[in-house]
Amino acid sequence: MNASIPPAEAGHASIILITGATAGFGEATARRFAAEGWRVIITGRRRDRLEVLKRELEGLHGTIEGGTVVHALRFDVRNRQEVARAIAALPAEWSAIDVLVNNAGLALGLAAFPEGDPDDWDTMIDTNVKGLLYVSKAVVPGMVARGSGHLINIGSIAGKDAYAKGNVYCATKHAVDGLSKAMRIDLLPPGIKVTHVAPGAVETEFSRVRFHGDRERAEQAYAGFTPLTGKDVAVVVFFAATQPPHVCLNDIVVTPTAQANSTTIFRK
Whole-Å CA distances, 1 to 7, 88, 238: 16, 35, 10
Backbone phi, psi, residue 195, to 5°: -115, 135
Q: How far apart are CA 25 and CA 30, in angstroms?
A: 8
DSSP at 164: T
Minimal distance, residue 217 CB to ligand 8X3, in Å: 13
Q: How far apart are CA 9 and CA 176, in angstroms?
A: 31
Subset of 246-265 contacting ligand 8X3 (CB under 6 A) = 262
C-alpha of 135 from chain center: 11
Which among 255, 244, 251, 239 has a CA at the least distance from the CA of 33?
239
Q: How far apart are CA 129 and CA 153, in angstroms?
A: 11
What character string, x for contact with ligand 8X3 (CB under 6 A) and - otherwise, covers 76-115?
-------------------------------x--------
Q: What sign has the CA pseudo-torsion 112, 115, 120, 121? A: positive
C-alpha of 76 from chain center: 14
Subset of 40-99 contacting ligand NDP (CB under 6 A) = 44-46, 49, 76-78
Any catalytic annotation for residue 134?
A: no
Q: Binding to ligand 8X3 by residue 172, rule CB under 6 A?
A: no
Q: Which residue stretch of 14-22, 93-101, 139-147, 180-188 sits at the interface with ligand NDP (rule: CB under 6 A)?
A: 14-22
Q: Are 80 and 134 in contact (CB under 8 A)?
A: yes
**CB closer to ligand 8X3, 86 vs 176:** 176
Out of 14, 156, 180, 262, which residue is the one contacting ligand NDP (CB under 6 A)? 156
Q: Binding to ligand NDP by residue 199, rule CB under 6 A?
A: yes
Q: Binding to ligand NDP by residue 211, rule CB under 6 A?
A: no
Closest residue to ligand NDP, based on beta-carbon distance: 24
Q: Are 64 and 39 in contact (CB under 8 A)?
A: yes
Q: Are 192 and 140 in contact (CB under 8 A)?
A: yes
262 interface partner picked from ligand NDP, ligand 8X3, none, CB below 5 to 8 A per type: ligand 8X3
Minimal distance, residue 267 CB to ligand 8X3, in Å: 13
Q: Binding to ligand 8X3 by residue 180, rule CB under 6 A?
A: no
Binding site for ligand NDP (CB under 6 A): 19-26, 44-46, 49, 76-78, 103-106, 127, 131, 154, 156, 199, 201-202, 204-206, 209
Residues with active-site annotation: 169
